[in-house]
Amino acid sequence: MDRVEAFLGDGVGGRETGLALARVYWGADAELNLEGPPNQSAVFSQIFTAPDDGRPMLHGYHVQTEGVRFVLKSNHLKAFVAEEAARLADDGPSRQWHLARMLRFLLESGAQAAGINTFDARRAAEMMASAAGDPDLQKRLNHLMRFWSGANLRQLFEDIRNRLLSHHPLLSAARVQRVADSLSGQAFQRIFQAAVAAIRQPDRFLLYLESAVTHALANRLKESFLQVGRGDERQVVLHVRLPLQFSQSSDATITICEAGAFGDGTTRAFVESFEKSMGHWSDGFISGCPNAQEDLAVASLLNQPEKHGAWRSIDSSDQAALSTLAAELCLPHGDPIPAAALRILFDHENIGFEQFALYDIAMAVAAVDGRLAAQLGRAPTAWELTSAAVEAAKAEPGSATGRLLQAYSGIEGAVQEEALSAEGRLAEQIFRLHARLCVDGCPACVHQPSDMMSDSLMEASTSRSLLHRFICTG
């Protein structure tokens, strides 16, 4: 940190603070889920216009307010980004993960700028980012980029859904068809070409890494500001200029201010307890994540199959034995074993008269996870893994997940449609059992509601792992 600046009034609005906030909106998107039959969704987009002549019009407000500004050391940030790019050059899976996030951000933001509905842009970006990791689908993407066709786009999107995201709850066949229809014009082709060209440029990748670190840090500093200042998150606004949005490096300045005129005292409370906020840089508040710690414990469990027999024979009510197990999972002394790890070792799923050990299900899904990561060249997302595991269960009826799928199919009198179908029930079980709580970010750390963009764009432009290494190198 180079410096921290505070902008304060006199508490009664008697003088300017030196910090002004303009909060404006130019339109809105909405999606409605309509009750069936058939179940379907409808999307609406509106650009705010003048009532008399239809000119686009901004709506919002402008006020003098109180807040703080964090100015990072630009030379330190740029040095870290350069070192990180060099490290990622030798770490293929991590590099591919960040490139997929960068592609998703560029596609979604570009589509929104072209007037495409936010929800359709989000789903198209997610599907294309998934397809970029599959060799066959990637070839078809490259061909489509050169020879654009609405019909080919619809077929490609459906194949992406069937192959990689067949059990994503927001990617039904009807939704995917609608998304493809809304993106079939030449405008999206140009957006796609520009995004692919960008991820191939080393300089643009550096801008993405700088943006991911800065945005993640900004979100955590906002949480620190709220906690120390005892503020209302609905009345605090964050702003940071992301290099990826402007195609050039920024001055790394993070502004956090109050939404109302002259504030409500949150900034002044933060300034009075500033030393407490400084402690957040070293106590894990800024760079840590409790969900990531749980994920590490579960990964440690799955990576030690030679000990599983002994661990599963433990009495789950024996605290001394559980303490020994916690130490073997490399948990800090005194920390409890995550519930997800205990479920894998000791819990069962009962369907009628049949009983299925969740351990067997978890190991089957872990095998699918390994194969899918090798195929994509990066860690799979939660719904990519869930979809692949369900498809593997269908293809291997003798496996643990295959037998569980058959048991779900045999539930007498059960509704066998959509989420309540046998495949839907298995997908839910797999997602709850094996989906990582923090895949490079989650609501417990850097994935916080953004004042600058949609939640999906925020997720694509933040990285907990990059933030953690940046703080550690400080």
pLDDT band at 42 (very low <50, low <70, confident <90, very high): confident
Residue 11: the pLDDT is 63
Residue 415: predicted pLDDT: 61
**Is the pLDDT score of 399 beyond 70?**
yes
**Mean pLDDT to the nearest integer, 356-385:** 93
Residue 12 scores a pLDDT above 70? no
Whole-number Å distance between alpha carbons of 369 and 201: 30
How far apart are the C-alpha atoms of 400 and 384, rounded to whole Å? 19
Which residue reads 């995917």 in tokens? 176
Q: Which of 418, 428, 336 is nearest to 382 (CA)?
A: 428
pLDDT at residue 300 in the model: 93
> Distance between CA atoms of 173 and 157, rounded to whole angstroms?
9
The domain locations on the chain are: 3-74+221-279, 290-434
Position 427 scores a pLDDT of 92
Q: How many Cα neighbours within 13 Å face the side chain of 362?
A: 25
Q: Find out whether 65 and 263 touch, Cβ atoms under 8 Å.
A: yes
In angstroms, the CA 117 to CA 30 distance is 8
Say yes or no to pLDDT of 419 above 70: no
Q: What pLDDT, in 10s, does the model give residues 103-150? A: 999 999 999 888 888 888 999 999 999 998 899 999 999 999 889 998
Give yes or no for residue 304 having a pLDDT over 90: yes
What pLDDT does 44 receive?
82
pLDDT cut 70: percent of the chain above it: 96
| 413 vs 230, residue with greater confidence | 230
Which tokens is 28 given?
A: 């809105």
| pLDDT more than 90, % of the chain | 66
- The secondary structure element, H or E, covering residue 329 is none
The pLDDT, as a whole number, for residue 251 is: 80
Q: Which whole number is the average pLDDT over 234-262? A: 90
pLDDT score of 413 more than 80 = no
**Structure confidence at residue 416 (pLDDT):** 60
**Dihedral sign for Cα atoms in the order 391, 438, 97, 305:** negative
Using one digit for the tens of pLDDT, what is the confidence trace for 179-225?
999 888 888 999 999 999 999 999 999 999 999 999 999 999 999 99
Does the pLDDT of residue 172 top 90, yes or no? Answer: no
Q: Which of 12-21, 88-97, 308-317 has the lowest mean pLDDT?
A: 12-21
Tens of pLDDT, residue by residue over 53-67, are 888 899 999 999 999
Q: Is the pLDDT reported for residue 403 higher than 80?
A: yes
- Calpha distance 77→473 (Å, rounded): 10
**Measured distance CA(9)–CA(261) in Å, rounded:** 10
- Residue-averaged pLDDT of the chain: 90
